[in-house]
Structure 1
Amino acid sequence: MKKEIMEWLVAIAVAVILIVVIRTFFFVSYTVDGLSMDPTFKDGDRVVVNKIMDNFQDYEYEDVIVFDSEMGPAYVKRVIGAPGDTVEMEDKQVYLNGEALEEDYVVHTEDSYMDNFTLEDLGVEGDVIPEDHYLVLGDNRPISRDGRDFGLIHEDSIVGEVSLRFWPLNEIAFNFD
């Protein structure tokens, strides 16, 4: 009987250690809070964030990431500009390095805020995103709190890239670019 109890305790301890290691170094789940990424993600969607790739690649245009916020819970947003890029918005059209972006995932309405901005308007010195910084925007631009509000984010605040939506079950998806 003692041997069986010890085996169970060891199995439980190994499972707990594996869960901690996986959540710390590999993958973590988040719940989308709000409508700022609609239609890509709805309020309450559950996603898995890949923390592994953070060590092996830089984030680029259209990557959907989760990052820690000084203003509360973590945010889910889309990378629009990476280090070395120039970004501006004019009449609801985003320009990356002088080229107009085709953003099929973006919600547009007549009542949007901050339809025009330059990097300088966001507090950037010069016209290029500095090293280790990213510009992120929500897909639901009329209501999204994003880089237009809080400026660029530092790469140290990035948790990882969203790899999977697993809830709701009828909307499981892997690619959000």
Structure 2
Amino acid sequence: MAKEIREWAVAIFIAIVVIAVIRMFLFVTFAVDGLSMDPTLEDGDRVVVNKFIYDIGEVEQDDVVVFESGQDSAYVKRIIGVPGDTVEMKDKTVYLNGEPLQEDYVTHRGESYMDNFTLSDLGVEGEVIPEGHYLVLGDNRPISRDSRDFGLITEASIIGEVQLRFWPLNEIAIDF
């Protein structure tokens, strides 16, 4: 009996260590709070964030990321501009490097607190996004707190890329 208890204790300890390593270095779950990414992600959705993806690859335009805002809790937003890009918004259309961005995920195009902006409006010196910085916007533009509110985010603030919505169960999704 003592041997069986010891075996169970070792198995439980190993499982706890494996879970801790996975959560620390590889993946973390995140609860979406608010409607700023609606309809892509809704309030209460639970997602899995890949923490190591940017250790082996680059942050790309259109990635949905979780990052530390420096103000409140972590935010989930979409990468719109990467280093070297020019970005501006005119008449509710985002222009990336001078071309209108096709944003099928944006469905809420009502009045926004900042319909038009340029990089200089966001406090960027120069005409392009500098190295190590990214412009993020929520998919629900009228209510999203994003780069229009707090400026560019740094690469160091990015926790990881959203790769899986697992809650609610009837809306499990992999690609955003």
1:59-98 matches, within 5 Å, as 59-98=59-98
Matching residue's letter, 1:131? E
- Establish whether residue 123 from structure 1 lines up as the match of residue 101 from structure 2: no
Deviation of the 1:100 alpha carbon = 0.3
For structure 1, which segment, 153-162 or 110-119, has the greater mean C-alpha deviation from structure 2 after superposition? 110-119
* 2: CA distance, partners of 1:57 / 1:93: 29
TM-score by length of 1: 0.97
Aligned to 2:166: 166
* 2: CA distance, partners of 1:110 / 1:62: 21
> What whole-Å deviation, never above 9, does each CA across 1:79-136 have from its counterpart, x for those lacking one?
0000111100011110001110010111333421201101111011011100011000
1:24-43 matches, within 5 Å, as 24-43=24-43
* 2: CA distance, partners of 1:169 / 1:18: 25
* 1: CA distance, partners of 2:57 / 2:94: 24
* 2: CA distance, partners of 1:102 / 1:13: 49
* 2: CA distance, partners of 1:119 / 1:98: 13
* 1: CA distance, partners of 2:110 / 2:70: 30
% identical equivalent positions: 70
Contact 1:107 1:142 in 2 (8 A): no
* 2: CA distance, partners of 1:174 / 1:43: 17
Query: Which consecutive residues of structure 1, in runs of 5 or more, have no partner in the other structure?
Result: none
Aligned to 1:12: 12
Aligned length in residues: 176
* 1: CA distance, partners of 2:28 / 2:102: 30
Runs of 4+ in 1 over 4 A off after TM superposition: none
DSSP 3-state at the match of 1:124: coil
- Establish whether residue 44 from structure 1 lines up as the match of residue 44 from structure 2: yes
Backbone CA RMSD of aligned residues:
0.9
* 2: CA distance, partners of 1:24 / 1:117: 37
Deviation of the 1:41 alpha carbon = 0.6
Deviation of the 1:67 alpha carbon = 0.5
DSSP 3-state at the match of 1:69: coil
Contact 2:32 2:41 in 1 (8 A): yes
* 2: CA distance, partners of 1:139 / 1:64: 10
* 2: CA distance, partners of 1:108 / 1:8: 53
Query: Which consecutive residues of structure 2, in runs of 5 or more, have no partner in the other structure?
Result: none
